[in-house]
Structure 1
Amino acid sequence: MHETLEFPDLLRLLDERSAAFSAAVTSAPDLDVRVPTCPEWTLADLVRHLGEGRYAWAATVAAGPATAKSTPEGVPAAPEEPEALLAWLAGGTRRLRDALREAGPDRGCWTWWGASQSPATSGAVARHQLQQVAVHTYDAQITAGAPQPLPVDVALDGVEEFLTTCCATTSAWPHEPATVDYHATEGRSWRLRLSAAGARVDRVPATDTAADASARGTAGDLVLALYGRIPVDALELDGDRRLFDLLVAWEPE
């Protein structure tokens, strides 16, 4: 893979998206409102979810190579009062940023994506955590009634990060071999190859041989569709559309 965001850019954008998330939460009328894209959660639940992840990943990165996710120590319980809750979240973001900066991009650490194409490193954690806060910022913005497009650089990296981390696997594809292309209108394309050997991702020219199915849209819309925030049908689909349903239903071992 190439043209991915550099580690300093990941840290900078992690701060930027975290600030955008907090601004969206602050603009909402209250934190008890339900999140349309995560209907089982209130906005307060979303803040707690993001904060708990920040503290846990900070501890995991700081622990270095390990066989299990680390449990954060000395973390205060998430407060109920909105301003205090956002301050608690900011503390988790600082811990994560400091742990990542101290570790650098190449230090090993525990991750849940072992059989994917993403490495078990602090740099890969930074990349995935940027996408987590970017998508949850969209969740918070739509809850507040003012959704914004994902920044293009974040979204372009996000399509590739999702495919290589969440889709790539060595578990056998339980259907006929197939190829699925994702085309960003900003000029970048990826091919997901599905077979008995698993799922692997490559960059491909947009003019390459047609895949069995393809989805086209802005990078931001591709990310939102991959994370289930908008329906796949919101994209421009071609070929065997049934493959997208099979991908959603697939649960690799």
Structure 2
Amino acid sequence: MTLRGSLSHERYCAELLAETDRFRALVRTGDLAAKVPTCPAWTLADLARHVGGAHRWAGVLVATRATGNVEDEDVPLGDGPEGDDAAALDAWLAEGIEHTVRALREAGPEAEVWTWSPVRRARFWARRMTHETAIHRADAALATDAGYALAPEVAADCLEEWLQLCALPEMAARQADADDPLFGPGRSIHLHATDTAPELNAEWVLDLTGDRFVHRRSHEKAAVALRGPLTDLLMVLYRRLPADSDRVEVFGDRALLDLWLERASFE
């Protein structure tokens, strides 16, 4: 598996900074005690600490060219400042992402570094942290009643990355539950973005007809189709938007789509 993205390393670094700036704006102006509806165990302050801690952890991995995982307690200032002061959290987020992006740029995309995926390169972290931040910005937007949008090429790459991650071997056991089979003849899902330029090729087929998940960019008939704006399709796959939302349309075997959404998770 390549887990290679469609954007350049520098574009990921720039998007990571921009996404963090947008996330920080929501933290600065939002109610830090507000519950995050898509992460119900967290407040907005908890979400900010999670995002900032992930940035600093990835930054340490890249900066040190780690050959193995780095424990949370070994990440300097990984827990963030004491208390829930918006200005302090904002400054901590800003400092952490600056260090992380600097480490990514200095390392370059092909520097060897530990990851939890088969791809042991710094480019994995540039892409992963970009999309991690983008999805959690959606969580913050929901917690603060703010608008949310992603550039189409970023949203498409985020969706593609999620499908690539879902094809990793560690996902196989969750997907292949014998009591309620996900795989079998004729079982497929078509994702169709309705708001993008043709050159973006924002259509995917999730092929479940064999004994493992594969996907491809294609316009094909499938057992179930999910249609809607690209960012909304992404939010459905990440379970930030329900599949019965009026922002998307489902045609065909809705139970198959629901089963996929249940199984395609690292939780």
TM-score in terms of structure 1 length: 0.86
Q: Deviations over 1:165-193 (max 9, x none)?
A: 2x113426522323222111214111222
Alignment partner of 1:7 is 2:9: yes
Equivalent position of 2:110 in the other structure: 106
Q: 1:241 aligns with which of 249, 254, 262?
A: 254
| Structure 1 residue 123: Cα displacement | 1.2
**SS of the residue 1:154 aligns to:** helix
**SS of the residue 2:63 aligns to:** helix
Q: Deviations over 1:118-143 (max 9, x none)?
A: x3322122112111111211222222
Q: Is the 8 A contact 1:169 1:200 kept in 2?
A: no
In 2, Cα distance between equivalents of 1:104 and 1:3: 15
**SS of the residue 1:249 aligns to:** helix
Equivalent position of 2:22 in the other structure: 20
For structure 1, list consecutive stretches of 5 or more residues without a partner in the other structure: none
How many positions carry a matched residue from both structures?
A: 244
In 2, Cα distance between equivalents of 1:226 and 1:120: 26
**SS of the residue 1:223 aligns to:** helix
Equivalent position of 1:183 in the other structure: 192
Cα 1:105–1:70 change in 2 (3 A) is farther
Q: Is the 8 A contact 2:53 2:79 kept in 1?
A: no
Equivalent position of 1:162 in the other structure: 162
| Structure 1 residue 110: Cα displacement | 2.3
Cα 1:76–1:69 change in 2 (3 A) is closer
| Structure 1 residue 9: Cα displacement | 1.1
For structure 2, list consecutive stretches of 5 or more residues without a partner in the other structure: none
Equivalent position of 2:142 in the other structure: 142
Instruction: Give the letter for the 2:21 counterpart.
Output: A
| Structure 1 residue 252: Cα displacement | 8.4
Identity across the alignment (%): 34
Which stretches of structure 1, 4 residues or longer, exceed 6 Å deviation after superposition?
none
Cα 1:193–1:169 change in 2 (3 A) is farther
Q: Is the 8 A contact 1:66 1:109 kept in 2?
A: yes
| Structure 1 residue 21: Cα displacement | 0.6
Cα 1:102–1:48 change in 2 (3 A) is same
Alignment partner of 1:215 is 2:226: yes
Instruction: Give the letter for the 1:106 counterpart.
Output: E
Equivalent position of 2:212 in the other structure: 198
TM-score in terms of structure 2 length: 0.82
In 2, Cα distance between equivalents of 1:148 and 1:63: 34
Cα 1:221–1:46 change in 2 (3 A) is same
Equivalent position of 1:87 in the other structure: 91
Q: Is the 8 A contact 1:25 1:141 kept in 2?
A: no
**SS of the residue 2:129 aligns to:** helix
| Structure 1 residue 195: Cα displacement | 5.1
Instruction: Give the letter for the 1:246 counterpart.
Output: L
In 2, Cα distance between equivalents of 1:106 and 1:142: 36
Q: Is the 8 A contact 2:22 2:137 kept in 1?
A: yes
| Structure 1 residue 203: Cα displacement | 1.3
**SS of the residue 1:198 aligns to:** coil
Q: Deviations over 1:129-170 (max 9, x none)?
A: 1111112112222222222222322212111111112x1134
Q: Deviations over 1:35-77 (max 9, x none)?
A: 2222211111011000110111111223436243455443364
Instruction: Give the letter for the 1:101 counterpart.
Output: R
| Structure 1 residue 3: Cα displacement | 8.0
In 2, Cα distance between equivalents of 1:191 and 1:198: 14
Equivalent position of 2:41 in the other structure: 40
Q: Is the 8 A contact 2:56 2:78 kept in 1?
A: no
